[in-house]
Amino acid sequence: MIGTDARTPGTNPKARPAIKLLLLEDDAHTAAYIARGLRELGHTLDVCTDGREAVFLATDGAYEVLIVDRMVPRLDGLSVIRMLRAGGITTPALVLTAVGGVKDRVEGLDAGGDDYLVKPFAFAELAARVNALGRRRPLALAPETLEVGDLVIDPMQRTVTRAGKRLDLQPQEYKLLEYLVRHAGQIVTRTMLLENVWSFHFDPRTNIVESHISRLRAKVDRDFAVPLIETVRGAGYRIDAPR
Amino acid sequence: MRPARVLRSAAFGLALLYAGLFGGSAALFSAGFGRAVDDYAEASTERDLAGEVAKVRARAERLALPELAAFVARRERTSAGSHYRYLLLGPHHERLAGTLPSSIARAGAFKFELPDAAEAEDASENTADARSDTIRAIGLPRADGAILVVARDEFAMTELTSWVDRATLWTGAGFVVFALIGGYLIAWAFVARVERVNVAARRIMAGRLDERLPIIGVGDEFRRLSASLNAMLDRIEALMDGLRQVSTDIAHDLRTPLTRLRHTLERVGPETSAGEAQEATGIALEQLDSVLATFAALLRIGIIEGGADRAGFARLDLGETMRRVADAYRPAAEDAGKQLIADLAPAIWIDGDAELLTQMFANLVDNAIVHGGDHVHMELRTEGTTVIASVADNGPGIPAGERAKVLQRFYRLDASRSSPGGGLGLALVAAIADLHGLKLLLSDNVPGLRIQLRKNCSTVNRRHERN
């Protein structure tokens, strides 16, 4: 979950789309850290330091992702999100906080946040989640099938084929693959997988994700020429069409 | 104890209230009694007067004035002791007999006040009360213009009523004094007991948390109050012990990894190569993450022990929760060379927090995988109304003597001191189990460790599947 590199290695800033971000964070040090890292990845970032300013800017500018710290002056982060949602702004919001209890996370999501990250976090974690939020496909436009290279998933039937050959996956393997494919081309961290595939909001001592990924690889990649599932050292996993 | 405290106490106030109520009713009673006596006096005097008038009426009408005067004078002398008074006035208002003042003469029934000066003749009989008397009189006019007035004073009755009044006053005063003294004593006894509780409470607050309050043994409600307060103190003591424990743990056991971290970073200097510096940074980050994870776990345990999370409880299928954990861990268990088997009874519902329970079982399975052995067994079954969930391995197990201590934070068997994990896993399990009312039992799996969680559910809901 927490990698040894501050920057996500193996990524080409030009290859990933730049996301327009608004960061609400009043601690100058943290704001600088986040801003520098995200700009190095090619994203554009505006920073504001109090809640009222954030509401004003987010209502006005066309941001694609909001990064919102809970503890800010004048209007706290959750109230900012609530206000924006009430005003019809659906920009995805990632909530940052030092408070990490179950109740607090639920509170953050209930207020209209889309993801929740507890400080301190690895930068790779933040980058991956921002990316996931910024490239979310609206459900209404969800295609009937999900495709990565020659891998095809039919979410309605829950069937998976690769190069036309039907793959037989266990329920957990399917869930894992579907999540990877919905974030195709993006890095998903171990934490994101634990939270979204297994609803584990803690870090197990045993690396269960790695074991499941290896099982998945055995079915999806082993008998095929080109592997689709990639381990990004220090960050997470990614499925991508071969270039 | 200072009198002021007793006087201000509720007990004394109540005593005063009762005294006041009784005093009030006593005053009412005495007023009524006095009134009744007055009425009796009036009626009695009127009766006596009528009787006397009846006796003298015949002569008053028939006798000639001089004989009548002599008769009246004689009568007055002989009836001096019985308080009858007379007045005989001639046709020209001349006094012919009697000692009443002439001014009062009139026909019919009437009454008037007579000051004490007129009583001077009967000084020997009068007691020393300096009041004016009420005199009741009946005037008998004659055809020749003379008038005879027969009168009676209410002296005897007045004496009676004044005596009654005095008696009431004295007993009333006596009662009030008695009530005040008695009330003061009772209040004093009560305040003394309450004061003992106050003193004990202050001592406890000053730091003697192991003390408990003495029972105020005055009545059932106070006994219950003392018992409740002591139960509260039990809870506070437990919480404070928990807090103290956390501080000790943090001070003692986090210092080691932080020291290690410092050593790692210390070694990086101007002489270090870039590669070595990179490596050191990597190690330092790992160590730091481990410390942060420990902090987070400690905080978690603290919050759970505080009981706050109970608010988010919902009905859940315990077997389903355990199954999800088993499925998630099975591949990892196999990769570690172990078989993970789950025997989970269906449709066992309890109230709880799915996330916490998941974390708890995950912790137990984590531990089982890390221990030696090749087999991890998860089980869920019922025995009567008891629900039993267990995770067992066939590793080295825990010696009987250490099983209780193993649940403490940071406790590690000497054998596992070197392996990573922070030693908080079982402490977290214990905290979550306690929050859910699950009894935690460690036993020998022969071989290995079996951890059981038991709960007595009188309402074990077994929803049968619909066919």
Do the Cβ atoms of B335 and A214 come within 8 Å?
A: yes
What residues in A contact B370, CB-CB < 8 Å? 205-206
How far B238 CA lies from chain A's nearest CA (Å)?
Answer: 22
Do the Cβ atoms of A208 and B300 come within 8 Å?
A: no
pTM reported for the whole predicted model? 0.65
Do the Cβ atoms of A211 and B309 come within 8 Å?
A: no
**Is residue A9 less than 8 Å (CB to CB) from chain B?**
no
Residue B161 backbone class (left: φ over 0; alpha: ψ -120 to 50; beta: rest): alpha
Q: How many Å apart are CA B82 and CA B128, to the nearest integer?
A: 18
| Amino acid B27: pLDDT | 78
Q: How many Å apart are CA B233 and CA B241, to the nearest integer?
A: 12
Q: How many Å apart are CA A147 and CA A185, to the nearest integer?
A: 11
Question: The sheet that has A20-24: what strands, in order across it?
Answer: A44-48, A20-24, A65-69, A93-97, A115-118
Residue B154 neighbours by CB under 8 Å, 6+ apart: B41, B42, B45, B133, B134, B135, B136
Q: Average the pLDDT over B57-71 and give the result.
A: 84
pLDDT band at B131 (very low <50, low <70, confident <90, very high): low
Distance of alpha carbon B59 from its chain centroid, rounded? Answer: 82
pLDDT in tens, B78-126: 876 767 888 888 888 888 888 888 888 888 888 888 776 444 445 444 4
Residue B254 neighbours by CB under 8 Å, 6+ apart: B291, B294, B295
* pLDDT tens across the length of chain A (243 residues): 343 333 444 444 434 678 999 999 999 999 999 999 999 999 999 999 999 999 999 998 689 999 999 999 999 999 999 999 999 899 999 999 887 677 788 889 999 999 999 888 889 999 999 999 988 766 556 668 888 888 999 988 889 999 889 999 999 999 999 999 999 989 999 999 999 999 998 888 889 999 999 999 999 998 888 899 999 988 899 999 887
Q: Are B349 and B316 in contact (CB under 8 A)?
A: yes
Query: Using CB atoms, which residue from B300, B332, B355 is nearest to A206?
Result: B332
Which chain B residue has its CA at the smallest distance from A175's CA?
A: B328
Interface of A with B in 148-187 (CB under 8 A): 171-172
pLDDT > 80? residue B319: yes
What residues in B contact A100, CB-CB < 8 Å? 296
**What ipTM is given for this predicted complex?**
0.83
* HEC readout, chain A: CCCCCCCCCCCCCCCCCCCEEEEECCCHHHHHHHHHHHHHCCCEEEEECCHHHHHHHHHHCCCCEEEEECCCCCCCHHHHHHHHHHCCCCCCEEEEECCCCHHHHHHHHHCCCCEEEECCCCHHHHHHHHHHHHCCCCHHHCCCCEEECCEEEECCCCEEEECCEEECCCHHHHHHHHHHHHCCCCCEEHHHHHHHHCCCCCCCCCCHHHHHHHHHHHHHCCCCCCCCEEEECCCEEEECCCC
Query: Using CB atoms, which residue from B289, B328, B366 is nearest to A198?
Result: B328
Do the Cβ atoms of B282 and A4 come within 8 Å?
A: yes
Query: Using CB atoms, which residue from B281, B296, B331 is nearest to A215?
Result: B331
What residues in B contact A202, CB-CB < 8 Å? 359, 362
Length of chain B in terms of residues written: 467
pLDDT > 60? residue B205: yes
Q: How far is CA B418 from CA B265, B284, B339, B412, in A?
A: 21, 18, 25, 9
SS3 B456: strand
Which chain B residue has its CA at the smallest distance from A2's CA?
A: B289
How far B359 CA lies from chain A's nearest CA (Å)?
Answer: 7
Q: Average the pLDDT over B410-418 and give the result.
A: 48
